[in-house]
Amino acid sequence: MTKIHYITAEGLEKLKEELNVLTTVERVAAARAIAEARDKGDLTENSEYDAAKDAQAMLEMKIAKLQYMIANARIVDESRLNTNVVQIMNKVKIQNLKNKSIMEVTLVGESEANLEQRKLAISSPIGKGLLGKKKGEIAQISTPSGIIEFEILEIAL
């Protein structure tokens, strides 16, 4: 089953740039590391060769993941967004009803999530709990430490 990957145009460009670096620079470096390790003698007892092959396998997995994400990317048309309900790319001001703390988060696709910038993935527990809610509604979000209730104070673009 194909999983659609929602992303901004800027986020898609970043993924494409990263893929380009991995395929043109990192792949060459991995092949060079394997060749250098192979030149060091018997491959059955060559830990450098094994490590280089493992690194290459990890690189290829990362490349395949990026290719999949790019192939299944759907750019979010920001002109079609509204603030009636919480949706991807909305800035949402929420209040934790237990400790009364207020925070503002932006809901984004998985590859653009960044806690330092307060960008939460729509697939995260908080993201899932906020999606579809309206201003004034209470979102009950299940976390490892129990259910947390957030009130939606504001929805913006």
> pLDDT tens across 13-60, in order?
999 999 999 999 999 999 999 998 888 777 677 788 889 999 999 999
- Mean pLDDT, range 140-149, rounded to an integer: 89
What helix, strand, coil percent values describe the chain, rounded to 5? 45, 25, 30
CATH 3.40.50.620 fits 78-156, yes or no: no
State yes or no: pLDDT of 130 exceeds 80: yes
CB 107 within 8 A of CB 122: yes
pLDDT digit string, tens, across residues 65-111: 999 999 999 998 877 888 899 999 999 999 999 999 999 999 998 88
**73-75 and 119-121 strand pairing:** unpaired
pTM, 2 dp:
0.76
Domain boundaries, the chain: 5-75, 78-156
pLDDT of residue 4: 86
DSSP letters for 114-147? BGGGTEEETTSHHHHHHTT--TT-EEEEEETTEE
With contact defined as beta carbons under 8 Å apart, do 40 and 53 qualify?
no
Query: For 5-75, which CATH class?
Result: mainly alpha
- Which of 20, 1, 7, 14 has the alpha carbon at shortest distance from 110? 7
What would the pLDDT profile of 62-74 be if each residue is shown by its tens digit? 999 999 999 999 9
